[in-house]
Amino acid sequence: MAKNWPLARRKRALHQRARILQGIREFFIENGYLEVETPCRIPAPAPESHIDAVPSSTWFLHTSPELCMKRMMAAGYEKVFQICRCWRERERGSLHLPEFTLLEWYGAGGDYRSLMEECEELIRFLAQAIGTGRTIHFRECEVDLSSPWERISVKEAFQRLARTTATEALEKNLFDEIMVQEIEPKLGLRKPTFLYDYPAERGTLARWKSEDPTVAERFELYMGGVELANGFSELVDSEEQRKRFLMENENRQTRGKPIYSMPDRFLAELDDMPPSAGIALGVDRLVMVFLDAKTIDEVVAFTPEEL
């Protein structure tokens, strides 16, 4: 018997993982997307209040390929996808690894609503490819993948599932706690659920809704209470983007976190980007859901603790 039993035991999961990765590529290539690779090591990440990058000499490991992929969009690449490793400091738990795999894709002409549709198609395609069919058994839930999936706005979710409104939660600085304790566990139990229209300050890189600028055109996808993806209609106004980055850096400073230098090249090119939608999907978590894994550890070859 193999000495490394935990690794030997993951063979089935890692075979399925490989099949899912293949399936993702098939889906996007069939739909006219170009697979791209952008550098993992970058001068600075996008300034965001709660995402910390791992330093690499005087640069950083990217926390997502967002900035480089948007620069490609601005240079005329209209449909791009990437599967890559990303790093986020101090994120470790049953759903978190400090080094993890993200799938990001961007499409010109789309918005967050068309992106939700595309998400549905991708996941149904993958379910077919690995032979799970129309229903996924995950954490005692039977999640039905047939169209349409549930869509609920953040405002409605607070009204229906929490003891306070979203506005009150933000005022009392309890938005994240209520989200984690009262709302997330109830999302995506029978059907995958899109939680959409986040408060504007929770969508730093997203476009604000024209008919209601208090919310950002941003959504998250949940299955079995687990957040899988975060997508939005992209903000393509460089002046507005710079303002928001400065605010995020101010937030970082008040929390005693290092501030990140302005991504000037990204900002200089952003105005060339066509109206688009883009999304990041956690591949490890998607594999977890497909395989009904209890923790993220079960779907990777090595966790940091095993190295």
Distance CA 186, CA 224 (A): 8
Find the shortest distance in angstroms from Cβ 280 to other proteins.
9
Find the shortest distance in angstroms from Cβ 214 to other proteins.
16
Q: Which of 63, 82, 101, 230 binds other proteins (CB under 8 A)?
A: 230
What does DSSP assign to residue 184? G
Find the shortest distance in angstroms from Cβ 136 to other proteins.
21
* Candidate ranges 2-10, 14-22, 155-163, 172-180; the one touching other proteins (CB under 8 A): 172-180
Distance CA 251, CA 261 (A): 14
What does DSSP assign to residue 300? S
Q: Write phi, then psi, for 198 (nearest 5 degrees).
A: -80, 155
Please report whether residue 131 would count as binding other proteins according to CB under 8 A.
no
Comparing CB distances to other proteins, the nearer of 31 and 251 is 251
Tokens of 190: 């029978």
Find the shortest distance in angstroms from Cβ 294 to other proteins.
12
Please report whether residue 188 would count as binding other proteins according to CB under 8 A.
no
Distance CA 281, CA 241 (A): 23
Which residues in 79-118 contact other proteins (CB under 8 A)?
Answer: 90-96
Q: Which of 26, 144, 171, 176 binds other proteins (CB under 8 A)?
A: 176
Distance CA 11, CA 70 (A): 36
Distances (CA, A) of 116 to 107, 113, 194, 267: 12, 5, 8, 27
Please report whether residue 184 would count as binding other proteins according to CB under 8 A.
yes
Comparing CB distances to other proteins, the nearer of 53 and 127 is 53
C-alpha closest to that of 193 among 121, 264, 252, 143? 143
Find the shortest distance in angstroms from Cβ 39 to other proteins.
23
User: Does 148 sit behind a cis peptide bond, omega within 30 degrees of 0 on the bond before it?
Assistant: yes
3-state secondary structure of 136: strand
Comparing CB distances to other proteins, the nearer of 136 and 296 is 296
Q: Which of 179, 189, 200, 235 binds other proteins (CB under 8 A)?
A: 179
Distance CA 190, CA 143 (A): 5
Please report whether residue 172 would count as binding other proteins according to CB under 8 A.
no
Q: Which of 131, 256, 305, 307 binds other proteins (CB under 8 A)?
A: 256
Q: Which of 4, 181, 253, 261 binds other proteins (CB under 8 A)?
A: 181
272 neighbors 75 (Cβ within 8 angstroms): yes
Q: Write phi, then psi, for 193 (nearest 5 degrees).
A: -125, 135
Please report whether residue 192 would count as binding other proteins according to CB under 8 A.
no
Please report whether residue 202 would count as binding other proteins according to CB under 8 A.
yes
Q: Which chain residues interact with other proteins by CB under 8 A?
A: 48-51, 90-96, 175-177, 179-181, 184, 198, 202-204, 220, 227, 230, 255-256
